[in-house]
Amino acid sequence: MKLSNAVFVALGILFPAATAHASDFNGDGRADLAMAVQPTFEDGAVHVLFGTAGGLTSSGMQTLLAQPTPVISYPPVDTFGAAIAAGGFDNDGFDDLAVGAPDAPVGDVVRAGAVFVYRGGSQRLVFDRVVHQDVKSIADKCEFDERFGMTLVAAKFDDDNFVDLAVGVLETVGKKPRAGAVHVFRGSKDGLTGVKDRPWHQDSPGIKDRAEEGDEFGSTLAVGGVDGDGHDDLVAQIRRERRTHEDTTHFGAITILRGGKKGLSAKQNVIHDLSDLWGVPPDEQARFGDTLAVCDFDHDGDGDLLIGAPGMNGGNGLAFRIESTGGVFDATNNVSMGASGFGAAGNGESLVVDDFNADGRQDFVVGSPFVTVGQVGGTGGTIGAGQVIVKFGGDGDLSDSKLFTRATADVIGEPLTGAAFGYAMHVAAFNGDGHDDLAAAAPFDTYLGYTLCGTMNVLYGSSTGLTASNSQH
């Protein structure tokens, strides 16, 4: 089944996969899909496909563009759609959408960044407001090249009934440029508000280590319950973290903030890097933490960490799972995983989590978009065609898995060189049948003669997990 021959550059299926908030913008009980499109429109755009009983449809597709405001202009460099998050910010029964434009100028401040917010409704999404660091209630101000909105996640960090929004920014902390921070906007009956905003960074009380120039705290964000207390917790990448303060090499690390009755806190804060997991020297090219997710794989009530390092081992990449017990992480109790085969596969370039077969145990999917498909004995095959690997939840054994490529039976399309199937993924119940489904992008695919236009496949969930039967393209 094809999506009415819709053609997209699917670089932006960027909903945080670990969030439990379905993206049902029109309140019909079926999940909808928003994805960023660049550079089809010079300023960027977000297409919204609505779910139906037959799955996603491009009929009635809505296209969102950056809205002009008194302080926001939107030249081609504004990267509208670089990050996307969805949730019930006002709890009115319709999910809302936040779209990051980290290169947007605010007034005369170049690349200050902004977030555009759209309210859901029975018909379509409607522009609500734009948020940036010069909004009065925010505990900060716009500064050059801080790229507010570069990462977004939506979650319930506190005890109210509203979804909150965490926003990553290359914050100057003290006199340390690009140290990085995360702002949290609380949901309310009137939508997102910066009241009680407290920027989190490595100089915040309780967070391990300290802020340093160029650390880029908050470059990647993920949410999920790591300690089983009913609150969402925040996992943040520190993309250019150094192993020691004397190091000149930036290896990267991840850290965790815990949700609670009043919101996020630094309680039980931990920090991990690649040497904790493998006992090997950190690798500056590993891109450790570029993808993150939280998954209760063994159904013990505590979410385990999934950490992608897609640049490790010369670009072959790995994804790591660190087990949590009562919210305490044992970095030595970890499992690494990736695609078998040859070359720079990019294992862990994308990660998503869900219970596809509804057995009560969360499964996860690892994208390997640059793997060669159909290789035999190290020769032949389609270079960079890409694949996704589903790991089914269980007692900790990761051997129960299923692999999909464009060469898999009933998966629509064919493996093309460099198409990068699995580069980005999103999970939701698109047809409302009780099973969640997977949308997987191939952003460099060719379709109907359009080179590098990008395409997307949808694989539907069932009692046996994801299946290519009745898949869409």
The pLDDT value recorded for residue 2 is 40
Dist CA 11 CA 456 (whole Å) = 10
The pLDDT value recorded for residue 11 is 35
The pLDDT value recorded for residue 279 is 67
The pLDDT value recorded for residue 179 is 95
The pLDDT value recorded for residue 339 is 57
Cα 168 to the chain's mean position, in Å?
12
Taking only the tens of pLDDT, the chain with its 473 residues reads 344 333 333 333 333 332 223 489 999 988 888 888 765 445 678 889 898 888 888 888 898 887 777 777 665 456 888 899 999 999 999 999 999 999 889 988 999 999 999 999 998 899 999 999 988 778 788 999 999 999 999 999 998 989 999 999 999 999 999 999 999 999 999 999 888 778 999 999 999 889 999 999 999 999 999 888 889 999 999 998 876 666 667 788 999 999 999 999 998 888 888 777 766 666 778 899 999 999 888 788 888 889 998 988 888 888 888 888 877 777 766 777 765 544 568 888 999 998 888 888 888 899 999 999 887 556 678 889 999 999 887 765 566 788 999 999 999 888 999 999 999 888 888 888 888 899 998 988 888 777 777 888 999 988 888 888 887 87
The pLDDT value recorded for residue 376 is 57
Dist CA 436 CA 433 (whole Å) = 8
Instruction: Please choose, from the candidates 345, 341, 342, 362, the residue with its C-alpha nearest in 3D space to the C-alpha of residue 353.
Output: 362
Residue at token pair 């999917």 = 365
CA end-to-end distance (rounded Å), the chain:
7
The pLDDT value recorded for residue 396 is 58
Between the CA of residue 118 and those of 49, 272, 277, 442, what are the distances in Å?
15, 36, 40, 27
Dist CA 48 CA 365 (whole Å) = 23
Q: Kindly give the pairing relationship between strand 45-52 and strand 33-37.
A: antiparallel
The pLDDT value recorded for residue 97 is 95
Residue at token pair 């009562």 = 326
